[in-house]
Amino acid sequence: MPSARGTLPWSPPSRSTHLLAAPVAAAVGACPSALVAPIDPDVADTTAFCAAYDVAPRSSANCIVVIGRRGETTTYAAVIVLATGRADVNGVVRRHLGVRKISFASMDDAVSRTGMEYGGITPIGLPSGWPVLIDEDVLAAGPVVVGSGLRRSKVLLDAADLATLPGAQVLSLTL
């Protein structure tokens, strides 16, 4: 039966910093339950990852980067939802951020602003001042798998650790 741990060889991040993007390695200490494991980067996308490593989709959390604008003000934010959910970006997220227009950040923009690889972006180690909007279902999931900042690895942690990250806010975000 699929679980959050799946079939991966998890280890403490302090012994596997080569599996973390630089900003993630610098910030992962704020997540005491965090473990890291290598994966095949060809199966880093959620559906393929869950199938390849027997991880339950309800235990896999995706991080998307959005950009909102209101007048001359631009706001970047991270939105975290379970693989089984879909964020209400144009409704709940837009209103919560107080922006008139919102969209997904382009791949190049997300990568350059986070210092992470596309497909591996995680809420751990995001730029200072970014809102980190976490769907309440993520916290209810218990242990979850998130990106490591790189496509070649994943991080497993207690979802409650996500709520302690700088800028973290727990909301009902899914449609």
Taking the CB of residue 19, how many other CB atoms lie within 10 A of it? Answer: 21
Pick from 37, 28, 58: which is nearest to 46 by CA? 58
pLDDT-based confidence at residue 2 (cuts at 50, 70, 90): confident
What does the pLDDT look like over 137-147, one tens digit per residue?
999 999 999 99
What per-residue confidence (pLDDT) applies to 174?
Answer: 92
What does the pLDDT look like over 96-123, one tens digit per residue?
999 999 999 999 999 999 999 999 999 9
What does the pLDDT look like over 25-76, one tens digit per residue?
999 999 999 999 999 999 999 999 999 999 999 999 999 999 999 999 999 9
- Domains of the chain in sequence order: 13-171 (3.90.960.10)
